[in-house]
């Protein structure tokens, strides 16, 4: 599928969402829309695997006549299309248990025929009054009976009984029928492979972030900014001009939002012929945490290839990250993050002695920027690269932040500072920067890149935008450590200390 077709699919789905949500907030409607797209992906994937498993025994879909009783007591006869698996389950009841065992072993999940997207879409087409209950049962089954029960709560934020969908159950059922029917029609003409649905999901996340106000944009890093971080952390850490690494064993984003940044890192290294061992992410917001898990699967990342944790990064409540044995400590080859800017937090006396902070100091409660940075830096491997987006103020604010910054510089851990234009993000208009950190770096100077001048971005009415050529210039300047008047300079530690 071409990029133009992908954009058209995303736009088609967004237009459906925008026209159907009515008075509902964009971020509320987002959860329904993205969950339906996810169910479509799981269903298509399951049906394709079932075709291979059953071979010639996989039946054709067929229409049957059913009689339904309407709310006024009248009976009507309808033609309903049965999914192939629904037919197979009916005809092979004794073989179902063995079939499901095989599918669980190969795919790690099961979807019952009545919960498949094709069955749900057919219920929506005929305005079946049981759609809401069937959908609710399907979501619960996927959560509880699939992925070794590791996906508990995946659909917990999808309230199918919300009055935002309608005051009465029948109204809610009718609204869901309309939404699902429109989504089904909208994607019917497009391929539903992993790349296509994954990209459509990303497009919708971006649109919902752009149209949902500042709060909705907090979980999303714009793709073009994400590309800079992804390109940089996938390059050889000691000699970036040598090109991409062959493998990243572990990749971490400790404030992962919807997971887009992690997926971008994976995409860049895979496209260069490399691979990723395992992806790790952490997210505090439960809704966004669920979006991230769906996003991974939608992009073809197996459930055994990622670990997304719901918890508070600053408190560090993830057991995996509290390993005291140095031999078992998580060490990541690439760390990327776009944490909340200048987040107010409550650093306790105990946190001052926390293994993440005690060597550098504790960030002030007015701004947790350096707390996030030090958290991530602790898990960076000696050969790894960390790229983090922070407010521009971290470069010059005094007191505790100055002490942390000075130690990082003196210890040779800050490799590059990239200043970006203002108003690039959905959640804020402030100027931001990217800090590139390494445990062991080759050069004893610091590269400063000023990409904030007007010639280095496209000015927009609502938001500014980095063009592909602007991104390439940033990455190439980092890669070859080039110097250019008014754009980039290598600064010695002696000069920085002055």
Contact partners, residue 229, CB within 8 Å, separation at least 6? 221, 261, 264, 265, 336, 387, 389, 434
- Helical (H) or strand (E) element with 310: strand 306-310
Specify burial of residue 63 (Cβ count, 10 A radius: 0-12, 13-18, 19+).
exposed
170's tokens: 């029948």
- State pTM to two decimals: 0.89
Residue 193's pLDDT is: 65
CA dihedral 72, 78, 83, 86 (to 10 degrees): 70
> Which DSSP category does 358 fall into?
T
DSSP 56: G
Greatest CA span in the chain, whole angstroms?
88
The token duo for 478 is 């980092």
Per-residue pLDDT of the chain (498 residues; tens, 9 = 90+): 566 766 677 777 778 777 777 667 777 788 888 888 889 989 999 999 999 999 999 999 888 877 766 666 677 777 888 999 999 999 999 999 999 999 988 888 899 999 999 999 999 998 898 999 999 999 999 888 877 666 788 888 788 998 888 899 999 999 999 989 988 888 877 666 666 777 777 778 777 777 765 444 455 688 889 999 999 999 999 999 999 999 999 999 999 998 999 999 999 999 999 999 999 999 999 988 998 999 998 888 988 999 999 999 999 999 999 988 888 999 999 999 999 999 999 998 889 899 999 999 999 999 999 999 999 999 999 999 999 999 999 999 999 999 999 999 999 999 999 999 988 886 677 889 999 999 999 999 999 999 999 889 888 877 888 999 999 999 999 999 999 999 999 999 989 887
- Non-local (6+) Cβ contacts of 99 within 8 A are 50, 53, 54, 92
Distance CA 98, CA 58 (A): 15
Q: How many residues does the chain have?
A: 498
**Residue 207: its pLDDT value, please?**
78
Instruction: Report the pLDDT value the prediction gives residue 214, as an integer from 0 to 100.
Output: 46
Contact 125, 181 (CB under 8 A): yes
Q: Residue 217: what pLDDT?
A: 45
Confidence (pLDDT) at 2: 65
The reported pLDDT for the residue numbered 33 is 84
């Amino acid at each position: 599928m071409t990029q133009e077709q992908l954009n058209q699919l995303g736009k088609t789905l967004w237009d459906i969402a925008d026209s159907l949500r009515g008075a509902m907030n964009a971020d509320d409607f987002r959860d329904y829309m993205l969950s339906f797209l996810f169910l479509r992906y799981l269903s298509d994937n399951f049906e394709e695997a079932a075709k291979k498993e059953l071979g010639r025994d996989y039946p054709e879909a067929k229409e049957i006549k059913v009689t339904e009783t309407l709310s006024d007591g009248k009976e009507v006869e309808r033609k309903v299309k049965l999914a192939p698996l629904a037919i197979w389950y009916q005809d092979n009841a004794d073989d179902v248990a063995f079939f499901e065992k095989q599918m669980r072993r190969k795919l790690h999940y099961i979807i019952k025929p009545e919960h498949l997207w094709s069955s749900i879409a057919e219920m929506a087409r005929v305005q079946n009054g049981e759609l809401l209950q069937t959908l609710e049962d399907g979501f619960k089954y996927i959560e509880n009976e699939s992925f070794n029960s590791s996906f508990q709560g995946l659909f917990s934020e999808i309230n199918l009984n919300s009055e935002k969908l309608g005051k009465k159950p029948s109204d809610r059922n009718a609204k869901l029928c309309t939404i699902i029917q429109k989504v089904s029609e909208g994607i019917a003409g497009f391929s539903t492979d992993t790349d296509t649905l994954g990209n459509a999901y990303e497009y919708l996340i971006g649109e919902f972030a752009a149209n949902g106000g500042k709060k909705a944009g907090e979980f999303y890093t714009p793709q073009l900014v994400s590309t800079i971080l992804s390109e940089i952390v996938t390059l050889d850490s000691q000699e970036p001009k040598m090109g991409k690494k062959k493998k990243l064993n572990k990749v971490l984003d400790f404030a992962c939002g919807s997971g887009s940044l992690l997926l971008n890192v994976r995409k860049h290294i895979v496209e260069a012929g490399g691979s990723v061992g395992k992806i790790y992410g952490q997210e505090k917001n439960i809704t966004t945490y669920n979006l991230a898990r769906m996003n991974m699967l939608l992009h073809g990342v197996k459930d055994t290839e990622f670990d997304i944790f719901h918890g508070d990064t600053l408190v560090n409540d993830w057991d995996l990250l509290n390993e005291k044995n140095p031999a078992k400590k998580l060490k990541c080859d690439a760390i990327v993050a776009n944490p909340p800017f200048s987040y107010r937090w409550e650093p306790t006396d105990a946190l001052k002695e926390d293994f993440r902070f005690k060597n550098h100091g504790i960030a002030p409660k007015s701004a947790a920027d350096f707390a996030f940075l030090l958290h991530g830096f602790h898990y960076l491997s000696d050969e790894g690269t960390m790229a983090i987006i922070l407010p521009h103020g971290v470069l010059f604010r005094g007191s505790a932040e100055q002490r942390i910054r000075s130690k990082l510089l003196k210890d040779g851990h800050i490799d590059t500072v990239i200043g970006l234009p203002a108003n690039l993000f959905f959640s804020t208009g402030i100027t931001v920067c990217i800090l590139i950190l390494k445990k062991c770096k080759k050069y004893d100077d610091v590269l400063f890149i000023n990409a904030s001048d007007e010639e280095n971005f496209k000015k927009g009415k609502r938001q500014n935008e980095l063009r592909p050529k602007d991104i390439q210039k940033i990455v190439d300047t980092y890669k070859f450590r080039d110097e250019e008047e008014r754009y980039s300079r290598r600064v010695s530690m002696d000069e920085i200390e002055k």
